[in-house]
Amino acid sequence: MAAPSTKAVLLSLVDDVEIITKELFESIASSKQQKATGLGGTEDYHQLTELLVQKDQELKDALNLAGEQAVIQKKIDSLKAESFKRDQDIRKLQQQLKEAEHVLSTAIYQAKQKLISIQKATKNQVPSEELIKYAHRISASNAVAAPLTWQPGDPRRPYPQDIEMRLGFLGRQSDLPINGQMLQAQSQASQGSSLSWQPPPEIAPMVSQVAINQSAMSVDSKGHNKENEGDEVEVMSTDSSSSSSSESG
Amino acid sequence: MGECVDVNFLSLIYEIIRSIEKDSHDVAQKLAELSRLFELCRHQIAKLPGIELSKAEQQQQIDVLRKQVVLKNELLQKYKTLCHFEAMHGNEQHH
């Protein structure tokens, strides 16, 4: 069982002193009456007095103990204040650590992304020579820019034609009809126009063959999503490049 | 702190006994004064700091607090030697 607190001890001692004092006064009053009647009663009086002195001494001792405890309490208070200060420092450091963790995790994520890109690039290496060759192929046919001397009626193509636009990604997005008949009709219509491009006789069969292939592809992949955009662009480029290569050849 | 509490009952009790023996008229007044002194003493005791616990419990508490402070100091020291936050702050400012 835990020892009673000093406060409880002190209050109980004060209560004891008060009770003994009352008893003492009653004893004195009764002994005074007994004296008047000739009876003795001084024994209780002495016992109570001794008890009172004893309790008074205990009270003083308890007050001394309270004084010592007050000093200890001061130390406890200062230790609590120090502990609180340390807690604040620890919280501050933890916050800084969390910030550092966030910065590091972001850096790690970005580094991982870069590593993935590097791995992808290493896996699908494209030699520079091939790139240059490809650039030559697509520029030789004036598919990317009109020749400086181009004029209306020039069979070299300075811009994509209607058929090519329909075959492209934008044409598919707007769901324009692309089939063999339409292509034929378009080609017939284009023949009527003096400004439109007419494929040279040596590449005409190739263009029509490519156009048919394109229409077959477009039927297969109707409602294409964005993921296939790269493929379509590639197909278009291949188309132009193949025709241009044949032109250049 | 213990000196702040007035526990000088014995002198007043002695005066009251003398008054009773002499059949003095101021007995009632002195009894009231004694009663007031007891109440004052109780109030003063209630205000004393650090007496809610016994001395042994207080010692125990102070030991626990000292250990906590030592542990927290060690933890802080560990954190400070682990990381260089100044460098991190420098980078953040740079960003």
- What digits encode the pLDDT tens for the residues A115-163? 999 999 999 888 889 889 988 887 777 777 777 887 877 777 666 667 7
Q: Which helix (H) or strand (E) holds B65?
A: helix B55-82
- pLDDT over 80 (residue A47): yes
- Mean of the pLDDT values across residues A84-88? 95
Residue A217 sits at the chain B interface (C-beta within 8 Å): no
CB contacts, 8 Å: B46 with chain A: 7
Indicate yes or no: CB of A96 within 8 angstroms of CB of B1. Answer: no
pLDDT tops 70 at residue A58: yes
- What radius of gyration do chain B's Cα atoms show? 30
A28 contacts B20? CB cut-off 8 A: yes
pLDDT for A37: 65
Contact B2 A4 (CB under 8 A): no
Give the pLDDT confidence score for residue A155 in this predicted structure: 72
- Which pLDDT does position A65 carry in this prediction? 94
More confidently predicted of B8 and A241: B8
Q: Which residues on A lie below 8 Å from B20 (Cβ)?
A: 25, 28-29, 32
Q: Do B42 and A11 touch (CB under 8 A)?
A: yes
pTM for this model (two decimals): 0.55
Long-range pairs for A40-49: beta carbons < 8 A, 24 or more residues apart: A48/A20, A48/A23, A48/A24, A49/A24
What pLDDT, on a 0 to 100 scale, did the predictor assign at position B32? 94
Strands of chain B, DSSP E: none
pLDDT tens-digit map of A210-219: 445 544 444 4
- Give the C-alpha separation, A249 to A241, whole Å: 11
The alpha-carbon gap from B2 to the nearest alpha carbon of chain A, in Å, equals: 5
Residues 6+ apart with CB under 8 A from B19: B26, B27, B30
The beta-carbon neighbor of B51 closest among A25, A32, A66 is A66
Q: Which residue has the higher pLDDT, A173 or A71?
A: A71
Confidence of residue A172 (pLDDT cuts 50, 70, 90): confident
pLDDT 10s digits, A15-35:
999 999 998 988 888 877 777
Q: Which of A66-70, A92-96, A234-238, B73-77 has the lowest mean pLDDT?
A: A234-238
A84: pLDDT confidence band, cut at 50, 70 and 90? Answer: very high
- Name which residue leads in pLDDT, A66 or A1: A66
Taking contacts as CB-CB distances below 8 angstroms, the residues of chain A near B52 are 5, 7
The proportion of chain A whose per-residue pLDDT surpasses 90, expressed as a percent, equals 36
Q: Please say if the pLDDT value at position A111 is more than 60.
A: yes
**How much is the pLDDT for A159?**
65
A67 to B51: CB separation less than 8 angstroms, yes or no: no
Nearest CA in chain A to B88: A100
- Mean pLDDT on A76-103: 94
Round to whole Å and give the CA distance between A53 and A21: 11
User: Quick one: closest CA in B to A25, which residue?
Assistant: B17
Q: Chain B closest CA to A4's CA: distance in Å?
A: 6
| Of the partner residues A25, A53, A90, the one whose CB lies closest to the CB of residue B72 | A90
Q: In this complex, do B53 and A52 lie within 8 Å of one another by their Cβ atoms?
A: no
Specify the higher pLDDT residue, A223 or B11. B11
Contact criterion met (CB < 8 Å) for B1 and A76: no
Q: Average pLDDT in the A97-121 region?
A: 95
Above 60 in pLDDT, residue A224?
no
Partner residue opposite B75 with nearest CB, options A75, A80, A90: A90
Position A207 scores a pLDDT of 47
Average pLDDT of chain A? 74
- The burial class, CB within 10 Å (0-12 / 13-18 / 19+), for A66 is buried
Task: Give tens-digit pLDDT for B13-66.
Answer: 999 988 888 888 888 999 999 999 999 999 999 999 999 999 999 999 999 999
Cβ <8 Å between A28 and B2:
no
Query: In this model, does residue A230 exceed pLDDT 50?
Result: no
